[in-house]
Amino acid sequence: MLKATKVRLYPTVDQRKAFAFQFGAMRWAYNFTLGWRSSAWKERGESISKRQTLDKLVELKATEETGWLKEADSQALQQSVMHLDDAFKRFFRKQGRYPRFKSKHGKQAMSYPQRVKIVNGVSLYLPKVGTVKAVLHREIVGKIKTVTISRTQTGKYYASILCDDGLEVPALLKTIEADAVTGIDLGITHLAIASTGEKQKNPRILKRAAANLRRKQKTLSRKKKGSANRNKARVLVAKAHERTANTRNDFQHKLSKRLVDENQAICVETLKVKNMLKNRKLAKHIADAAWGELLRKLTYKTAWSGKHLVQIDQWFASSKTCSDCGTKVDAMPLSVRQWTCQTCDQEHDRDINAAINIRQQGILKLKAEGLSVSACGGSRNSGTLPVAA
Ligand SMILES: [Zn+2]
């Protein structure tokens, strides 16, 4: 299984200079290649291949003017232009936007595909930079595949170490207990609403952090371009971003871990996430709730434990259908939080009802994949329905 561990690095002054040079070379190669490939496409309708891109790199290193690239780590340099190639592929598959130039003001990053070593458990050997002091909270197990070094805008250095621990991914559970299947509705005031009725609020701290961020952003926009004060303001904005991201990350790790620990299958509606992101008005809220990131964490955590993440990516009326009798109502504006089914008189909390429907759809999907979902008992508690056979 591949697992990534992120560790903080504490480079010396000289090592910081070495990093700055490496980052600069990676950025230069990336931006040069982007410009070259873009103009080939725009001017001649010519598409440049990965092979041509790598050949160009060799050519650049042999040219006097750009020979300084030889001082950069050659495999990391190749990795950098390959990342651009991946970005182009995503763009052509309509999975991403057109690649953009990297700025020296943003977060800096480079990837070493090999040759990184852990030295005595307290530092990391990085080619062209040296042995850098690191804080390793746990032992790094297995074979190191790639190591990505990044420098945040606030000047912190990190290494994300991707390792193959040599263990097999556990086989997916074949028999699932209905009690251990949960449906999750992703919301805005609440990040996640479970079919059990549990509502998981977005931490308030994120809201406060967002207000702080807005204020700092405003200050930044008033500073004169290129001034020292503007740079200071930029770092303050970056720090606020960093704090928000860290808070959200911790919260999501705990939530996803608990969901995976407590269940054998988790059902989510993913089409909704894709559609919502297109809605501009809601986009900010959704960015805050960070559904995509939560889904990503759920995906690998379920996979690591042989559990199921059932993604419901077909449109179905999870909010408009009565989870008790299946009656579908014509309209359900977002403002309606509670409603009563006209057919069976059941009162519904909008979000919990949707989560129950998502769970039922998930169970149907699991069964359609040939898995057995054991119905146990007929007892209903806190909104969880007995499973229809
Ligand atoms: Zn009903």
pLDDT band at 225 (very low <50, low <70, confident <90, very high): confident
Annotated active-site residue in 73, 85, 179, 185: 185
Residue 17 CA to residue 116 CA, distance in Å, equals 19
pLDDT for 26-60, tens place per residue? 999 999 999 999 999 899 988 899 999 999 999 99
Evaluated on CA atoms 234, 239, 240, 242, the torsion sign reads positive
pLDDT on residue 383: 41
Please tell me the predicted confidence (pLDDT) of residue 226.
Answer: 82
Q: Is 261 an annotated catalytic residue?
A: no
Q: Is 39 within 8 Å of 31 (Cβ atoms)?
A: no
Give the Cα separation of 294 and 202 in Å (integer): 12
Query: pLDDT tens-digit profile of 182-199?
Result: 999 987 778 889 999 999
CA of 326 relative to ligand 1 center, distance in Å: 6
C-alpha angle with apex 138: 133 to 139, nearest 5 degrees? 85
- The pLDDT tens digits of the residues spanning 319-335 come to 999 999 999 999 888 88
With cut-offs at 50, 70 and 90, classify the pLDDT of residue 377: very low
Do residues 183 and 169 make contact, with C-beta atoms less than 8 angstroms apart? no
Query: What's residue 384's pLDDT?
Result: 44
Q: How far is the CA of 329 from the centre of ligand 1 (A)?
A: 10
Which are the contacts of 328, defined by CB distance < 8 A and separation ≥ 6? 317, 320, 321, 322
Neighbours of 340 (CB within 10 A): 10
Q: Are 186 and 269 in contact (CB under 8 A)?
A: yes
Whether residue 379 is predicted with pLDDT greater than 50 in this model: the reply is no
- Residue 198 designated active-site: no
The pTM of the full predicted model, rounded to 2 decimals, is: 0.74
